Amino acid sequence: MEIERLGPDATFCFDCRVDRSCLNACCTDLHLVLTPYDVLRLRRRLALPSADFLRDHGEAIEMPQTRFPILQLQMRRSDRLCPWATGAGCTVYRDRPGACRAYPLGRTAQIGDRGQVVEQVVLQREPHCLGFDGGPQWTAARWFENQELAPYSTWADRFSALVARVRLSGRTLNEQQRASVRLALYELDRFREFIKQRQLLRQLRVARDRHRQILDDDEAALSFGFEWLALLLGGLSSDHTTRM
């Protein structure tokens, strides 16, 4: 693979089509990390309970040192192909993961010294990909807009910030903390039940106009999950309350 760092004004030509002979080559034998927002969109598209999605499509791994839990897409055992790749294209295309949308670009976001998001974009040229043979000319910004990447990037940046916060703390998460991360980020249906059983919104003095939204809306629940984990992993005691 050739990797080229792209500046904001750099251009490249690319066109991915289902009639190319390289179809699904980029969907084979992947080590694709699913962000919490990727899981939200895919699980909603497939109408699966979180337990079923994680069992059938997720491979749980942990980051070294911190043991922060993350999720990797489970490839088909028979041919190491993405479970949603077919000869006619991707069956979950409108809700495909952010990394798939960005391809052939790769986007990373690091948290700077002042807490700002520092973005880096690279162009990935793989020998099997024929998409570079002609096609429209793009900048990274235009490609990301065309692929509707904005919400994926926003949520990925929140995820990166949380991971960075844990890493900079120098701590290793214990089993209870790891279970809380899995619950709040990857199991929103169970997280909602947990919220109701523990009366968590009342405990944390969450504004009342957010209560119903958090219990009914996936994105609102995930947003609250990030806020709750920031408190939980920030070393605050269990009886600490704040307005959210």
Closest alpha carbon to 73 in 26, 23, 39, 108 = 39
Which residue is it, tokens 């958090």?
214
pLDDT recorded at residue 114: 64
| Residue count (the chain) | 244
Share of residues in the chain with pLDDT > 90 (%): 84
Average pLDDT over every residue of 211-233 = 96
- Kindly give, in sequence order, each residue whose CB lies less than 8 Å from that of residue 5, ignoring residues fewer than 6 positions away: 120, 121, 122, 123
The answer on pLDDT for 24 being more than 60 is yes
Band of pLDDT at residue 242, cut at 50, 70 and 90: very low
Average pLDDT over every residue of 108-112 = 72
| 67-76, 161-170, 195-204: the lowest-pLDDT one | 161-170
The mean pLDDT value of the chain amounts to: 91
Average pLDDT over every residue of 221-226 = 97
The answer on pLDDT for 121 being more than 70 is yes
Its pTM surpasses 0.75 = yes
Q: Are strands 85-86 and 137-139 parallel, antiparallel or unpaired?
A: unpaired
Closest alpha carbon to 27 in 92, 90, 72, 118 = 90
Q: Which two tokens stand for residue 209?
A: 């106009």
Residue range 224-240, pLDDT digits in tens: 999 999 999 975 333 33
Average pLDDT over every residue of 142-153 = 97
pLDDT recorded at residue 111: 66
Q: Where are the domains of the chain?
A: 161-232
Which residue is it, tokens 């600490």?
240
Closest alpha carbon to 70 in 154, 147, 167, 1 = 167
The answer on pLDDT for 195 being more than 50 is yes
